Structure 1
């Protein structure tokens, strides 16, 4: 029974994985301003000159191809941030017990690290946040108490998000520090935070992918800038 149960979970985790859309991904692979490495620790996006003082470990949402976040995060790498997109075990962040250093080892020269994630990946990022210098949430919220952590936090949500709704984010607000920066992007849905197509139960976005990418880059750049040594 145990073997069957484990086998069932493994099989379920591989069914219905939301693939990265090819056109946004092509913009990453063809971007001359960044270096893309498919490393053991994850997908690493770096400025082409290799000089980076701040890094972001980013955890994908449940059953979403990690490459689906490369396009929305490439602007950070263009601006000098090293990004490591993790590959959660069984495509589900809760089944991945690795600590933050398992991913930051991809760029040992970077001295300041934020951790972030989308949806369920953000919930896992909250658990790793005590070992990081900052926390970034995309359409997500914390299930553990960070209210007294003193950690800089940026929480970005979407007005059309049908999964991580405004009410759910508000209900979990007390888990974050009082000075956490809470930003809602008008017209953004849950799936607007990645490039993997529509998602069941989500709202309909009214913001374009290009506008969404630019706004997320601006918000995260401004948030991370004070962390640079």
Structure 2
């Protein structure tokens, strides 16, 4: 009987181990299928924006695009940008071109499976890419902004010198408390945004530092901070994609200038 019990227990352990393995494999397959369904960049709109401006784009590495103003003497600051969840990172090239034209060095990062949460620390070390730039900001759209806020919070908690002067949120919110920091914060969202969870957004305001500014783009939507069409569940825009990107770049430029 004792031998039988031992065999029985061994079989149970094997069955449990096999079941757990199947669950892990199934979860991995489900996640891969989920991540493959993402919004792709609208190259037509991006090319139209690129043709209007004066900025250069370089492949910094396989996972990073670097946007540089043609007149480096007019560089105002640097911005490291985290793309929104399940959006191809190049979809934000239009906004990066507009910002570079206004004097910002912009670093656009590719994220694993198009999800910034899988590489929250992607911004580390970019402050030394352009030695002429002394002021840097983190920025992100939607879940990319949430991830950027987590990264900033981790830097604050680590006690290391903060490499960024502030954070720019596009249709996003903060989940970590930055209220006791001397960071600057800019929040922009569209009045017709039907994707952002406004309850999370409003609750996140308690985490904002005292030096925070909020802008609402009239007629703007969630999707139009990038160039990837209109995502499922978003509102109806009353302005064009290019108009929203242009207004966003203007707001950021004016906000950065306020600190000078």
Q: TM-score, normalised by structure 2?
A: 0.80
SS in 1 for 2:255: helix
Q: Unmatched 5+ residue regions in structure 2? A: 1-20, 157-161
Secondary structure of 2:196's counterpart equals coil
Deviation at 1:103, TM superposition (A): 3.4
* 2:212 equivalent in structure 1: 180
Q: Deviations over 1:74-107 (max 9, x none)?
A: 2210111101111112210111142523433443
Which residue, out of 79, 91, 109, partners 1:68? 91
TM-superposed deviation, 1:179: 3.3
C-alpha contact (below 8 Å) 2:168/2:187 kept by paired residues:
yes
Deviation at 1:124, TM superposition (A): 0.8
Q: Any idea what the Cα deviations from partners look like across 1:191-214, whole Å, max 9, x if unmatched? A: 011110111111111112232122
Alpha-carbon distance change, 97 to 191 in structure 1, aligned in 2, over 3 angstroms = closer
Aligned length: 227
Q: Where in structure 2 are the equivalents of 1:16-165 lying within 5 Å?
A: 16-30=37-51, 33-40=54-61, 42-51=64-73, 52-129=75-152, 130=156, 131=162, 132-165=164-197
Structure 1 residue 4 displacement after superposition = 4.9
Give yes or no for the alignment of 1:204 onto 2:243.
Answer: no
Give 1:29 deviation, angstroms: 4.7
| SS of match in other structure, 2:72 | coil
Matched, 1:218 2:250: yes
Distance in 2 between the 1:176 and 1:12 partners?
32
8 Å CA contact 1:39–1:106 kept in 2: the answer is: no
Give the CA RMSD over aligned residues. 2.0
What CA distance in whole angstroms lies between the structure 2 residues aligned with 1:123 and 1:90? 17
Deviation, 1:117, is 0.2
Structure 1: gaps (5+ residues): none
- Tell me how far 1:56 sits from its aligned partner: 0.3
The answer to whether the Cα contact below 8 Å between 1:141 and 1:169 also exists between their aligned partners in 2 is yes
The question of whether the paired residues in 2 share the 8 Å contact of 1:56 and 1:83 is answered with yes
Higher helix share goes to which structure? 2
CA distance in 2, matches of 1:99, 1:50: 25
Instruction: Single out whichever of 201-210 and 61-70 deviates more from structure 2.
Output: 201-210
- 1:12 and 2:39 correspond: no
Q: Structure 2: how far apart are the matches of 1:9 and 1:108?
A: 39
Greater relative contact order (CA < 8 Å, ≥ 6 in sequence)? 1
Cα deviation digits, residues 144-202 of structure 1 (max 9, x gap): 11111121100001111111144432121101123310111111111011110111111
